[in-house]
Structure 1
Amino acid sequence: MVWPTPVDQLNFHGAGFQIIEIQKNIRLRNNSDYKIFPISRINAAAALILRGRLCASAGGKPRLFCCRYQVGGSAMSISLSQVAVPTFVQLLNSLTNLLDKAATHATAKQIDPAVLVNYRLAPDMFPLAQQIQIATNQAKGAIARLAGVEVPSYADTETTFDELKARIARTLDFVNAFTDDQIDGTEEREIVLKREDKELRLTGQNYLLHLVFPHFYFHVATTYAILRHAGVDLGKRDFLGQIPGVTL
């Protein structure tokens, strides 16, 4: 990672801590005490200012309890709506593009489209249609649960490219229907998922970042892999789709 400013230009406010190491973490030292915490997304075009406050622990020893990164004078923060909605929109649109290319390939090679819709990478893996069904289920389920509304139910009966594309479009409409205020502030909301005779309980943030996203990416990537393995002319840019604000 390239840091935006030299070490001696990084300012820490609080109790005489000095920065002694920058790698994947910043390490702060005050006499024999030190604190370590990770550095995340840094705007390389702006100066990094690390701010913290200290309070006394039970033993009277100072401890860092609040830190944040500032760029250009404003705190760097990102909300669940900024994380969730653009991610789902980008890759759901990518899925539509993948299906368009698959349809073109099937026509050019005189392949029955049903062959590709039912194609799978291994005998015990789900076929392409089910990969897309699960990916869309993850997207609509996440937005609904974070917003505190009922998850829409789909029939899972798609058997053609057009039907799968219609499912994706329906999911995009649902994802885009919510305001930021309906999703933001739900980081600590308890999400309860029923799994047969068990219940899985997660905070909204952990649910999105550590359960939904891995599932969603897996099934989108597997859709890409199925079509690529079947001979469809695809590349990584087709998987990435349109990155917001970026021209590839």
Structure 2
Amino acid sequence: MRAVWALLAALVAAQILYPLTGGGPRAALVVATVLLGFGASLCHAAVTRGVRVALALCAVAVAGLGVEVLGVHTGFPFGAYAYADTLGPRAAGVPMVIGLAWAWMAWPAWLAAARVLPSARGPARVAVAGVALATWDLFLDPQMIAAGHWRWADPHPALPGVPGVPLGNYAGWLLVAALVATLLWVAVPPPDRAPCAADAPMHALYLWTYASSVLAHAAFLSLPASAAWGALGMGLVAVPLAVRLWRAPVPAEAT
């Protein structure tokens, strides 16, 4: 578990440096953050839930890349968009790191849902995990659009104050996030679906992503509208998660 915390600490450091840099170094920090986040999620899944779940996360990464390739070449399910040549090696027009990003946040989103709804049946858990993952995009896309990493051919209609991202993209994210959550529901055995004390690093990752994104967008990246939309959207899961952790931490013997 020390390795998971070390990867999380390195991720936090990279994200703190992000608004303090620009150009090539900032793009390199995006890639580094995704690699660190994926490494932390994969390591945590393997240590706490076993190889089967870790392999499921790898499958999420491959599927995420596949969905992005589909999106770039057909416009479904996110709308017509294209990537710039700024995020490292590409496969069929999509930076390979993008697939890892899906898996990076899918795991903490899943575990956040497990903590918020510890006894929920499949559909409810999948729905909350899907929302937990999809609402992250309220921060991600505006930030990456502002940095010039990708763009839409026709970003209309859009959320007020976030003109570069079409509403249809968020619907596409919700659809894919629900499919990812369903895959995790199938992959995680019933005894391992309950939250446990060892999930703390992933809870911390989810809450850090939420709080740091609100702060960065509002204070450092000149994106106040996405700060507000993200605070509302991702807060649907992040705030109940924080409240539950504060009121009733998971006991060490929980499984």
TM-score when scaled to structure 2? 0.29
Higher strand share: 1
Larger Rg: 1
Which structure has more relative contact order (CA 8 Å, sep 6+)? It is: 2
Higher helix share: 2
TM-score when scaled to structure 1? 0.30
